[in-house]
């Protein structure tokens, strides 16, 4: 999807298919919303046709015939009662049904969008074009779908109502129906062009609107509050905000004159030509040609008013269908996107973990090869460390292992079977992972540790996991203990921890998850040496019953691992135990020696204890 270009133009047939898709989507979540929109439109158009086409005609003809007052009043009263009942139904549907069902519709559509968003592969979120489509898909999608439902029903019923009105006008004067061409041109031609220009403007403004949203977020979320106050980054944010605003204004100016011109033409052909034209024509027929009576002139004038507003509303609905059909194309494209690594992929259910093997794995990201012909094997109950400079490909290996990405070439095997053949969610359950760029959610401490999982002894598992990362005492001091709410996103009394404390909390997730393989990605980057020592002691202890894989930039923490894999430029350049690599006196030895000398503040490398 990320490489597919947005189509600026859609055929009317494609647009109609998008509208039908939206109506079906709405019906799948709320049938009352769809049927309610139909009957509301039916009542509105029926009122126009009846009162301007039949009601007035029946009254005038009764008066011409000299009928008594009683039948006329009876007809008027019956019409008023029926109209009142229909109005009550319409009001109830508008104020009650649409409010309730609209909420259901909104909830259903966004649940579907979020489910899809969770199911697409990670690479999609790193593709700006895909992300733009995603943001446009969720931008008021439920409102646009509901608007399509109303417009769709309006267009169908409006077309039928137009036929009735035109038939009545045709019965009075055949040439009078020529004036219907005017609003057709106004709405269908100029209105359609205006909608397309508005869509182009919206698409051009979308990247800049993203910048505005980002700056707005940075100004009210705590993430960057300290940096904003202790630096001049605010000036950069303000400049970016101003630049984005200027681009939005520039785009608005670019489309202002075409939109204004098209709107003037639409209104002129829709209102002026139709309304004034029919009046002049009717006056000519009565006063000059003398071919219609005063009663017919009155009815024709009334029908003209009805026809004008029916056509205006009809083509407004058609224009909305075209406009929203173009917008809904983003939603449909997103929901129908075929995932490369679908989260719900079915396959073999893995048995117990025995081996994991990379065979000649290469991976390219945005045409840049980050992993190059990589091969290694991890056996059950081994503790393996991935080390190397930043950009060596360590975290990418973890993402490939977890199938957040698939290799460009080569393959990864679990117990001798290509991991792409496994049920994806079942496969990932084999791994408990803490990434360096973790996220603390606006939930309780307990929920942040368990991450949606439920076990019989939840509290005991949470406390044990927190203890192993060295943060249990701090959590127990909180008023709510493990039930304390994290962050102030939803609760003013929410807890804000330090960077190191948050890292310990995130690491507790890996201890808590009952998986045979534990993965720690830089679990101690924000910890002091003592806390780091205690954490790695518990990680190694955990490795007695689990297979361990972790990334660390501090080589002193990997001394007790069964194996160390040294990466450079996406390649495996050295492999062995800590002592073997030190004895080799290669790249690992140089890195370890340099770190040890800096840490111990000594100059003589002979003093480094290996």
Residue, of 228 and 346, whose pLDDT is higher: 346
Alpha helices in 231-379 (DSSP H): 233-267, 273-283, 294-335
Domain positions in the chain are: 12-335, 345-430+515-577
pLDDT at residue number 245 = 93
Q: Domain 12-335 falls in which CATH fold?
A: ABC transporter transmembrane region fold (1.20.1560)
DSSP letters, 525-547, are TTS-HHHHHHHHHHHHHHTTTSE
Instruction: Return d(Cα 245, Cα 564) in angstroms, integer.
Output: 51
Q: What's the mean pLDDT in 298-313?
A: 77
* pLDDT-based confidence at residue 283 (cuts at 50, 70, 90): confident
Write out the two tokens for 107. 């909830």
Which residue's structure tokens are 């012909």?
A: 373
Strand 431-434 relative to strand 517-521: parallel, antiparallel, unpaired? parallel
Q: Taking a C-beta distance cutoff of 8 angstroms, is the pair 279, 304 a contact?
A: yes
CATH class of segment(s) 345-430+515-577: alpha beta
Cα separation of the two ends of the chain: 52
Alpha helices in 357-498 (DSSP H): 394-401, 424-428, 445-450, 458-469, 472-476
pLDDT at residue number 414 = 95
Residues shown for the chain: 610
* pLDDT-based confidence at residue 134 (cuts at 50, 70, 90): confident
Q: Taking a C-beta distance cutoff of 8 angstroms, is the pair 29, 109 a contact?
A: yes
Q: Taking a C-beta distance cutoff of 8 angstroms, is the pair 274, 182 a contact?
A: yes
User: What digits encode the pLDDT tens for the residues 466-517?
Assistant: 998 888 989 999 888 999 998 877 777 888 888 888 888 988 998 899 899 9
With H, G, I as helix, E, B as strand and everything else as coil, classify residue 244: helix
Q: What's the mean pLDDT in 133-152?
A: 84
Helix axes 141-172, 98-119, angle to 10 degrees: 130
């Amino acid at each position: 999807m990320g490489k597919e270009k947005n189509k600026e133009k859609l055929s009317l047939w494609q647009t109609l298919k998008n509208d039908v898709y939206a109506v079906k989507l709405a019906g799948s979540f709320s049938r009352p919303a769809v049927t309610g929109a139909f009957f509301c439109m039916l009542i509105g158009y029926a009122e126009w046709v009846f009162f301007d086409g039949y009601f007035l005609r029946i009254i005038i003809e009764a008066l011409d015939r000299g009928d008594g007052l009683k039948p006329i009043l009876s007809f008027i009263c019956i019409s008023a009662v029926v109209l009142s009942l229909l109005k009550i139904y319409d009001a109830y549907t508008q104020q009650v049904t649409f409010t309730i069902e609209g909420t259901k519709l909104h909830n259903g559509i966004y649940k579907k969008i979020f489910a899809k968003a969770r199911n697409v592969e990670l690479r999609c979120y790193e593709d700006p074009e895909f992300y733009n489509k995603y943001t446009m898909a969720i931008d008021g999608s439920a409102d646009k779908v509901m608007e399509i439902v109303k417009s769709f029903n309006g267009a169908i019923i409006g077309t039928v109502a137009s036929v009735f009105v035109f038939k009545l006008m045709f019965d009075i004067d055949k040439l009078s129906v020529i004036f219907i061409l005017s609003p057709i041109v106004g709405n269908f031609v100029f209105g359609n062009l205006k909608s397309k220009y508005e869509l182009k403007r919206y698409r051009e403004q979308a990247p800049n609107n993203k910048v505005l949203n980002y700056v707005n977020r940075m100004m009210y979320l705590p993430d960057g509050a300290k940096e904003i106050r202790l630096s001049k980054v605010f000036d950069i944010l303000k400049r970016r905000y101003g630049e984005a605003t200027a681009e939005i204004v520039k785009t608005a100016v670019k489309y202002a004159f075409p939109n204004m011109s098209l709107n003037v033409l639409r209104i002129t052909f829709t209102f002026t030509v139709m309304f004034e034209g029919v009046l002049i024509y009717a006056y000519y027929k009565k006063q000059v040609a003398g071919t219609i009576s005063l009663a017919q002139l009155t009815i024709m004038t009334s029908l003209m008013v009805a026809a004008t507003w029916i056509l205006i509303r009809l083509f407004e609905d058609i224009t909305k269908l075209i406009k929203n059909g173009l917008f809904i194309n983003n939603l449909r494209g997103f929901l129908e996107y075929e995932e490369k690594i679908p989260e719900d992929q079915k396959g073999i259910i893995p048995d117990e973990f025995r081996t994991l093997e990379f065979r000649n794995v290469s991976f390219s990201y945005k045409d840049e090869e980050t992993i190059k012909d990589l091969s290694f094997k991890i056996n059950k109950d081994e503790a393996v460390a991935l080390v190397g400079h930043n950009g060596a490909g360590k975290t990418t290996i973890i993402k490939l292992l977890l199938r957040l990405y698939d290799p460009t070439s080569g393959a990864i095997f679990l117990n001798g079977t290509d991991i792409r053949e496994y049920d994806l969610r079942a496969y990932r359950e084999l791994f408990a992972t803490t990434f360096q760029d973790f996220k603390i959610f606006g939930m309780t401490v307990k929920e942040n540790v368990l991450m949606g999982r439920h076990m019989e002894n939840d509290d005991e598992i949470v406390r044990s996991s927190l203890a192993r990362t060295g943060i249990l005492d701090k959590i127990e001091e909180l008023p709510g203990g493990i039930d304390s709410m994290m962050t102030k996103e939803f609760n003013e009394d929410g807890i804000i921890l330090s960077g190191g404390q948050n890292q310990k909390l995130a690491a507790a997730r890996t201890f808590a998850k009952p998986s045979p393989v534990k993965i720690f990605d830089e679990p101690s980057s924000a910890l002091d040496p003592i806390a780091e020592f205690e954490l790695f002691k518990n990680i190694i202890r955990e490795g007695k019953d689990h297979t361990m894989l972790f990334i660390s930039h501090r080589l002193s923490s990997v001394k007790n691992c069964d194996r160390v894999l040294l990466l450079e430029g996406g390649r495996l350049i050295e492999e062995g135990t800590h002592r073997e690599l030190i004895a080799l006196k290669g790249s690992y030895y140089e890195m370890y020696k340099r770190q040890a000398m800096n840490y111990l503040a000594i100059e003589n490398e002979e003093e480094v204890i290996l």
